[in-house]
């Protein structure tokens, strides 16, 4: 019997592992990609998300040529501007100040490499509205620490859900892995059979 090549999730994000589990997919291995995530000069949010997902995918596929390798990158965009991943309070506050009371977009790039090296990739977009935030709401959110390591300084899957009255597009994409489209890629590459899922 022919055995199916393994699936590697090229991500350090526990959210991505949880999201895959939600649709019944368990990668054989998790191998985070260590790449430079700095936006190129003048790079727009959508191509940035696409490029980083592909870079993460290729970085891991290079040392695992016989596996399927799945990678993603989530970018929060205020207009043409790419918001940082919040690693400190000041950055998280700046992001929230920019996003509160406005609509913004979240782009998640996904890339899948198949054994042999063929890479398929897509970018999935969501439009998110965040309500205006009072000083007390911002302070309480900052205190929660939930913004840490999150693109744009918030996590829709946590307390910040109370700040989001409307979203159009992929919810799972905002959290980090758009599930419908990821399953399409896995199907297209032959990892998931048409008859399952
Ligand atoms: C906007 C938003 C982002 N995020 C997260 C998803 C991603 O983990 C993170 C964006 O950073 P990414 O660079 O996409 O991912 P990562 O550094 O966590 O993991 P890796 O590169 O190894 O795959 O922000 C949420 O969890 N909820 C949200 O609502």
Mean pLDDT of 109-118: 96
Tens-place pLDDT, residues 50-99: 999 999 999 999 999 999 999 999 999 999 999 999 999 999 999 999 99
154 domain residue, yes or no: yes
pLDDT (0 to 100) of residue 195: 67
Name the domain count of the chain. 1
With a CB cutoff of 8 Å and minimum separation 6, the contacts of 140 are none
Going from the Cα of 123 to the center of ligand 1, the distance in angstroms, rounded, reads 14
121 domain residue, yes or no: yes
Tens-place pLDDT, residues 143-159: 999 999 999 999 999 99
For residue 117, give the DSSP letter.
S
* pLDDT band (50, 70, 90) for residue 165: very high
The pTM (predicted TM-score) of the whole model is 0.96
Q: Of 30, 19, 49, which Cα lies nearest the Cα of 124?
A: 49
36 domain residue, yes or no: yes
Contact 85, 73 (CB under 8 A): no
Mean pLDDT of 119-125: 98
Report the atom number in ligand 1 closest to the C-alpha of 176. Answer: 6
Ligand 1 site-directed mutation target among 151, 154, 162, most atoms within 8 Å of CB = 151
**Residue 23 sits in a domain of what CATH number?**
3.90.950.10
Nearest C-alpha to atom 21 of ligand 1 is from which residue?
11
* Residue 83 structural domain: 7-188
1 domain residue, yes or no: no
* pLDDT band (50, 70, 90) for residue 194: confident
196 domain residue, yes or no: no
């Amino acid at each position: 019997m022919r055995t199916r090549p393994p699936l590697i999730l090229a991500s350090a994000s526990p959210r991505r592992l949880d999201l895959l589990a939600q649709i019944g997919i368990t990668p054989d291995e998790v191998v985070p990609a260590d790449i430079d995530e700095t936006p190129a000069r003048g790079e727009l949010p959508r191509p940035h998300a696409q490029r980083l997902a592909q870079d993460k995918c290729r970085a891991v596929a290079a040392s695992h040529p016989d596996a399927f390798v799945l990678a993603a990158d989530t970018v929060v965009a205020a207009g043409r501007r790419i918001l940082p991943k919040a690693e400190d309070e000041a950055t998280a506050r700046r992001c929230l100040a920019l996003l509160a009371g406005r609509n913004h977009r979240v782009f998640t790039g996904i890339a899948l490499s198949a054994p042999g090296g063929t890479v398929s990739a897509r970018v999935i977009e969501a439009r998110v509205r965040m309500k205006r935030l009072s000083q007390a709401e911002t302070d309480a959110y900052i205190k929660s620490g939930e913004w840490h390591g999150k693109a744009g300084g918030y996590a829709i899957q946590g307390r910040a859900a109370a700040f989001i009255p409307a979203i159009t597009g992929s919810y799972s994409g905002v959290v980090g892995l758009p599930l419908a489209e990821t399953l399409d890629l896995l199907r297209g590459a032959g990892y998931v059979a048409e008859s399952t899922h």
